C-alpha cells in the first residue's frame, strides 16, 4: 500500500499533469480546467473500466508498470488521489 | 437441512477470444487490454454445434443418474439469467426431462435473480423438498447459449460463456449442507439509464460483500471460518474489490475459470464447485460460500454458506 508521506512530490506532480493530459483521450471528449481536486466519477462521470483504461494509458505514458494489487474504488476519487496511488505504486524499473 | 447430493457439468472444448467481440461491440484496443490485464477475461467457452437442450443434457448425463435416483426426482428447476431463451413453443427443459425419464417431475424455470438465480433455485428446491417424502430429490439445471449480443457481452464488465451444470439436491444429507442463504434484492436498479448504471457500479462491491458477510453471520460463522468462496465468474477485478472491502484473501476465491470459460451464466457456482473438489480445495467439514450478483431488471446480490 502506498504511503503518501514518502511520495516524491515531483513525481506526483508529473502524474497529476499526465492524468490531466490523458483525460480527454480516455473520456473521448474535451475536458477543460481539470486539476488535482477534480473528482473523476462525480465531475467527469468516469466509469470503473474507464478508470482502468486511464491507468493503462498512464503506464504507457510514464513507461513504468503500476501495481494494481491494492487499488480500490477510493483511489479513483479525484485526480489527486489517483496520483497518490500511482506515484506510490510504480513497480521498480527493470 | 438442504444438501447437494451430486454435481454434473459440461464445458465445451471450443473458445472464442475477447478480441472477437471487438467489432460488434466497438471495443477499442485499450478496452481489450483492460479486459485481459485487469478483468482477466481472455476467452469464453463456446459450443456452436450444440443446442441448449443438448448443452443441458450433457450436464445431466454427467450426473450418471441411476434409475432409482431419477424416479425420486420430484422437481426440476432451470435457473437462468435470461427470462426467455428459446422461441415459443420450444421448451428445452421439458425436452431434457423427456430424454432422462423425468416426465413425472414438476419442471419449471427460475430467473428473476438473473445470474444469481442458481442460488435461488437451490434454496427453493430445498424448501419444496422439505414438504415432500424424505427420499425425494430435486434437480437444478443451469447453463445458457450466448445467443444474442446481450447474452455474449456485458459492456465494461464481462463476457458470457456456454456450458451447463446439473445439481442434484436433497432435503437433507451428509455433505454440502446449506447453512444459510441471503439474497438482497435491489429493485431501484431496474432501468438502463446512465445514472442507474453508475450507481449500480458504485454500490456493487459493497453490496456483494455485504451479502457474503451477512450469509456467513447467518450461518453462525465468521469470515475466518470460510475456507473458500466459489464466485460467479464475472471478472477478477470485481472480486479483488469485494475481497478488499470485506477483508477476505483473494487467493481463497476460486477464479481459475474466469480467463478461460468466461461467465457461464448461473452455472459458474457449480462448475467452480466441481473444480474445488477436484483440486482438493474443500476438505470434509470445511465451510464455503457460493456468491453471485445478478443484474437485469433490478439487481440481486446473493450468497449461500455450505458445510462440505
Return the residue of A nearest to B30 by Cα: A53
Please state the rounded mean pLDDT for residues B197-212.
91
Phi-psi region of A29 (alpha: psi -120 to 50; beta: other; left: phi over 0): beta
Strand B106-110 relative to strand B73-79: parallel, antiparallel, unpaired? parallel
What was the pLDDT predicted at A56?
93
Domains of chain A in start order, with CATH, are 4-88 (1.10.1200.10)
Residue A55 banded pLDDT, cuts 50, 70, 90: very high
* Distance between CA atoms of residues B1 and A50, nearest Å: 45
Distance of CA B275 to the CA centre of its chain: 14
Nearest-CB residue to B156 (from A45, A49, A73): A49
For domain B177-307, give the CATH superfamily.
Thiolase/Chalcone synthase (3.40.47.10)
Please state the rounded mean pLDDT for residues A54-65.
92
User: B31 vs chain A: nearest CA distance in angstroms?
Assistant: 7
Nearest-CB residue to B34 (from A49, A70, A73): A49
Dmax (CA) of chain A:
37
Q: Is the pLDDT of residue A47 over 90?
A: no
What was the pLDDT predicted at A4?
53
Mean pLDDT of chain B: 95
List the domain boundaries for chain B.
3-170, 177-307
Render pLDDT for B260-286 as a digit per residue (tens, 0 to 9).
999 999 999 999 999 999 999 999 999
- pTM score, two decimals? 0.92
| B154, β-bridge pairs | B158
* Cross-chain residue pair A56–B30, CB shorter than 8 Å: yes
B193 touches chain A (CB under 8 A): no
Render pLDDT for A60-83 as a digit per residue (tens, 0 to 9).
999 999 988 778 888 999 999 999
What is the DSSP code (8-state) at residue A92?
Answer: P
* Cross-chain residue pair B34–A52, CB shorter than 8 Å: yes
Is B297 or B76 the better-scoring residue by pLDDT? B76
Per CB-CB distance under 8 Å, the chain B contacts of A68 are 38
Taking residue A41's Cβ as centre, other Cβ atoms within 10 Å add up to: 18
Is B202 or B118 the better-scoring residue by pLDDT? B118
Four-way CATH pick for B3-170: 3.40.50.1000, 3.40.50.720, 3.20.20.70, 3.40.47.10: 3.40.47.10
Please state the rounded mean pLDDT for residues B115-134.
97
B161 burial type by CB count under 10 A (0-12 exposed, 13-18 middle, 19+ buried): buried
Asked whether the beta carbons of B21 and B148 are under 8 A apart, the reply is no
Q: Is the pLDDT of residue B8 over 70?
A: yes
Per CB-CB distance under 8 Å, the chain A contacts of B249 are none
Which of B28, B30, B241 is most worth mutating to test chain A (most A CB atoms within 10 A of its CB)? B30
Can you give the three-state secondary structure of B179-213, one letter per residue?
EEEEEEEEEEEECCCHHHHHHHHHHHHHHHHHHHH
Select from B153, B110, B126 the least CA-distant residue to B300.
Answer: B110
Render pLDDT for B224-257 as a digit per residue (tens, 0 to 9).
999 999 999 999 999 999 999 999 999 999 999 9
Residue A3 banded pLDDT, cuts 50, 70, 90: low
* Cross-chain residue pair B38–A73, CB shorter than 8 Å: no
B202 touches chain A (CB under 8 A): yes
What was the pLDDT predicted at A5?
58
Residue A44 banded pLDDT, cuts 50, 70, 90: confident
* Distance between CA atoms of residues B112 and B120, nearest Å: 9
Nearest-CB residue to B241 (from A50, A57, A72): A72
B157 touches chain A (CB under 8 A): yes
Is B164 or B298 the better-scoring residue by pLDDT? B164
What was the pLDDT predicted at B144?
97
* Distance between CA atoms of residues B75 and B87, nearest Å: 23
What was the pLDDT predicted at A48?
82
Render pLDDT for B62-105 as a digit per residue (tens, 0 to 9).
999 999 999 999 999 999 999 888 998 999 999 999 999 999 99
Q: How many Cβ pairs within 8 Å bridge chains A and B? A: 35
Return the residue of B nearest to A57 by Cα: B30
Amino acid at each position: 500500500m502506498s504511503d503518501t508521506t514518502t511520495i516524491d512530490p515531483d513525481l506526483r506532480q508529473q502524474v497529476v499533469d499526465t492524468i490531466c493530459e490523458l483525460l480527454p483521450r480516455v473520456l473521448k471528449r474535451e475536458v477543460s480546467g481539470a486539476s488535482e481536486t477534480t473528482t473523476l466519477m462525480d465531475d467527469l462521470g468516469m466509469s470503473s473500466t474507464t478508470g482502468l483504461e486511464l491507468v493503462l494509458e498512464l503506464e504507457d505514458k510514464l513507461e513504468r508498470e503500476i501495481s494494481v494489487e491494492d487499488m480500490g474504488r477510493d483511489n479513483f476519487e479525484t485526480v489527486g488521489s489517483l496520483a497518490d496511488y500511482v506515484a506510490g505504486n510504480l513497480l521498480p524499473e527493470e | 437441512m438442504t444438501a447437494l447430493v451430486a454435481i454434473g457439468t459440461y464445458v465445451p472444448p471450443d473458445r472464442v477470444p475477447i478480441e472477437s467481440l471487438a467489432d460488434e461491440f466497438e471495443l477499442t484496443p485499450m478496452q481489450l487490454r483492460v479486459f485481459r490485464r485487469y478483468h482477466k477475461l481472455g476467452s469464453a467457452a463456446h459450443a456452436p454445434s450444440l443446442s441448449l437442450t443438448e448443452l443441458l443434457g450433457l450436464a445431466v448425463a454427467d450426473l450418471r443418474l441411476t434409475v432409482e435416483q431419477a424416479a425420486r426426482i420430484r422437481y426440476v428447476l432451470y435457473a437462468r439469467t435470461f427470462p426467455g431463451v428459446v422461441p415459443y413453443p420450444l421448451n428445452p427443459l421439458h425436452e431434457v426431462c423427456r430424454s432422462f425419464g423425468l416426465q413425472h417431475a414438476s419442471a419449471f424455470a427460475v430467473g428473476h435473480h438473473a445470474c444469481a438465480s442458481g442460488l435461488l433455485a437451490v434454496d427453493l428446491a430445498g424448501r419444496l423438498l422439505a414438504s415432500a417424502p424424505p427420499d425425494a430429490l430435486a434437480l437444478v439445471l443451469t447453463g445458457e447459449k450466448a445467443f444474442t449480443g446481450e447474452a455474449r457481452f456485458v459492456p465494461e464488465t464481462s463476457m458470457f460463456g456456454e456450458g451447463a451444470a446439473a445439481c442434484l439436491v436433497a432435503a437433507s444429507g451428509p455433505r454440502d449442507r446449506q447453512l444459510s442463504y441471503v439474497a438482497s434484492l435491489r429493485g431501484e436498479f431496474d432501468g438502463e439509464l446512465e445514472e442507474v448504471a453508475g450507481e449500480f457500479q458504485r454500490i456493487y462491491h459493497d453490496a456483494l460483500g455485504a451479502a457474503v458477510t451477512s450469509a456467513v453471520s447467518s450461518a453462525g460463522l465468521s469470515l475466518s471460518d470460510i475456507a473458500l468462496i466459489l464466485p460467479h465468474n464475472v471478472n477478477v477485478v470485481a472480486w479483488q474489490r469485494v475481497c478488499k472491502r470485506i477483508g477476505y484473501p483473494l487467493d481463497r476465491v476460486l477464479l481459475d475459470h474466469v480467463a478461460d470459460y468466461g461467465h457461464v451464466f448461473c452455472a459458474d457456482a457449480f462448475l467452480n464447485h466441481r473444480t474445488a473438489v477436484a483440486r482438493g480445495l474443500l476438505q470434509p467439514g470445511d465451510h464455503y460460500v457460493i456468491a453471485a450478483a445478478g443484474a437485469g431488471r433490478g439487481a440481486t446480490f446473493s450468497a449461500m454458506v455450505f458445510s462440505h
